Amino acid sequence: MEYTETGVGRELGERARQFMDEVVLPVEREHSGDGAVSEAVIEELREEARARGVYCPQIDEEHGGMGYDFRDVLPLFEQAGRSLLGGPAMRVAAPDEGNMHTIELIGTDTQKERWLEPLVEGEITSAFSMTEPKPGAGSDPKMMQTTAQKDGDEWVIDGHKWWTTMGSEADVFIVMAQTDMDAHPYSGTSLFLVPANANGVEIVRDIPHLGPSIVHSSHAEITYDRVRIPEDNLLGTENEGFTHAQERLGPARLTHCMRYSGMAQRSLDVAKAYLSEREAFGGPIAEKQAPRFAIAEAETDLYAAGTMIRDAATKIARGESARNEVSACKVFTANVTQDAIDTALQLCGGSGMSKDLPIADFYASVRCFRIVDGADEVHKRTLARAAFEDVDTAEIETLSQFEN
């Protein structure tokens, strides 16, 4: 593994840390236990993020961002993860972050002007609409049922989606649909920009789900019934939807990893502060070996995860797909951050379960991370396939000699 944290990245991360400590965390504490904070509060945080130079650093300046290199924004993403309000405040939260990256990467100039720039400003919101109820696409995207057929100068979309994150609030959807029914889905699927107010788009319901309370996060079930959109709303190249989705998901999975790493580290920081103040069995709990070792093991795992993430980011910045590295980062980070937050909650006891501390919301959020953006099993399947691609049969032959 190799990575170099640049001076630019460290400086951006430090600005983000100060913004979190001085602005976001006090707001989080003020609203703890009150339910989801209002959009007005989020907008106030965004205004301060703009003033402090930590707003939407990952998007080019010509579209309203700050134009930082992908590797340099990773420390900021990690700081943003220290509160569930950090991502929305700095405009680096999913799904908008990944959708903005996608439109910037493959969108036309017209699409960038209409959708990307208002997204960067926070004037509109977006959703990525890919997952379907059975028998449609879930962990196996080849089972895609949604279709888009050309009719003159329009596309007509029919399908049924669910688990579309922030779908109920979205102003625009990036919809994945089959466009060549005779081709393999990997080479016959496309992405489309579908306005939420288009005729035939219906939000069936918000799926009740496990999740935090301080930020609102819907997961919508949506039907697309003969939805007509202009042919110019094709995003990227026709029949290259899976390729484009991977271009989106690689960096997005790493930014997810950084945010959750920050969340896990904050959980441990809260636990360490609690253990240092709480006394039991004749002294501070922080002096007991069991909690000290639990903290040490969790921080070791987070260190390993951070190294992996930055190594994968370096490869992506060089133009490599880094698919296996990203899968390894995703499955490893999802599990170690879950373990770290679970450890922090356990060490804080009843206080950990209360909404007086942020750990309870973190716990509800992190469990989803092992499913969203590819379940553990999907990434392990990718890694296992790569592991067996170049098996050295000479090892088997050597073993056979001993058996004989």
CATH 2.40.110.10, domain 126-235, yes or no:
yes
CA 175, CA 154: separation in Å to the nearest integer? 15
What percent of the chain is modeled with pLDDT above 70?
A: 96
Q: What is the pLDDT of residues 91-116, one digit of tens each?
A: 999 999 999 999 999 999 999 999 99
* Span of 2-6, 181-185, 299-303, 359-363 with lowest mean pLDDT: 2-6
User: Which pLDDT score, from 0 to 100, does residue 2 have?
Assistant: 53
CATH 1.10.540.10, domain 7-93, yes or no:
yes
Q: What is the pLDDT of residues 169-210, one digit of tens each?
A: 999 999 999 999 999 888 999 999 999 999 999 999 999 998
Contacts of 343 (CB under 8 A, 6+ apart): 268, 271, 294, 295, 298
239 or 4, higher pLDDT? 239
User: Which pLDDT score, from 0 to 100, does residue 368 have?
Assistant: 93
228-231: long-range contacts, CB 8 A cutoff, minimum separation 24 = 228/151, 228/154, 228/155, 228/156, 228/157, 228/198, 228/199, 228/200, 229/154, 229/155, 229/157, 229/192, 229/193, 229/194, 229/195, 229/198, 230/153, 230/154, 230/155, 231/150, 231/153, 231/154, 231/155
Question: Which CATH code is given to the segment(s) 242-387?
Answer: 1.20.140.10
DSSP H or E stretch at residue 280: strand 279-280
Q: What are the structural domain ranges in the chain? A: 7-93, 126-235, 242-387
Taking a C-beta distance cutoff of 8 angstroms, is the pair 267, 345 a contact? yes
Q: What is the pLDDT of residues 6-52, one digit of tens each?
A: 899 999 999 999 999 999 999 999 988 778 899 999 999 999 999 99
Domains 126-235 and 242-387 share a fold: no
| Residue bearing tokens 């579209």 | 63
Q: What is the three-class DSSP state of 230? A: strand
